[in-house]
Structure 1
Amino acid sequence: MNLNHFGQKNKQLQQLLAQSTHWQRLTNCLKQELPASMRPHFNVACVRDGCLVVIAYNSMAASRLRMVLPALLPQLQLIDGTVGSVKVKVQPPDLKPEVVKQASLGPEARSALSRSAQALAHHPELAAALRRLSEKNI
């Protein structure tokens, strides 16, 4: 899907795409200048009132970025002349907890499935599926 095509017709979308591209260039600049071990632990959020806001995903990365980023300010200013300072904020990534299914069939449910499988002998595929389900230990 080419969003630039839609951006030609919609000025707000065009502006958002331009901002996104700009922030991506800033992110790429930082990631090229920093050690490979730090690259996956941060992202550029925005430029607000001349301050480049960088989001670190943990406090260790934030500490290292706070030490290193001021020295990279001249390279960042080549991309965006309005950047006068850098601020690092910590925001852990949204990790969705793994859902553990705890469903189980009791003895009565297994018995009912088994009886249903016997009663549906004239539908062999359905009967076999019910029989397998009644035998599963879930």
Structure 2
Amino acid sequence: MINQTHTKTNIRGTKGYVAPEWFRSNTITAKVDVYSFGVMLLEIISCRRSVEIEIRENDREILTDWAYLCFRRGTLDALADEDPEVTSDMKRLERYVMIALWCIQEDPSLRPTMKKVMLMLEGNVQVAIPPSPCPFSSTIR
């Protein structure tokens, strides 16, 4: 019964990992965890934090925006900091970045389930080219 239950859904999370729906009146689902996983995957790929204010290059401060720019421009080697171990397998790097970009879609309905993410990471499911992760609020050029 509605008068017998009380559930709090206050925002929880670390800056840079919090899904956009926490800041809107949207329903919170398991897709918020998919978003956080996508950010973490980009951090692993790039060996940097999700937000780096000290960088002083506007297009590189926010990792999620920069990752999409690198993907769109075909400069994934820059995202991986030209690490030879990472860039020696550009196909895998591109697949992992595309998976991360699907995970960080602003629209939660576009994000895959974690099961599908795992299948994509294992190579059992083909990864389609992702759209811009933040078409509604982005300044990504």
Q: State the TM-score, normalizing by the size of structure 1.
A: 0.30
Greater RCO (CA < 8 Å, at least 6 residues apart): 2
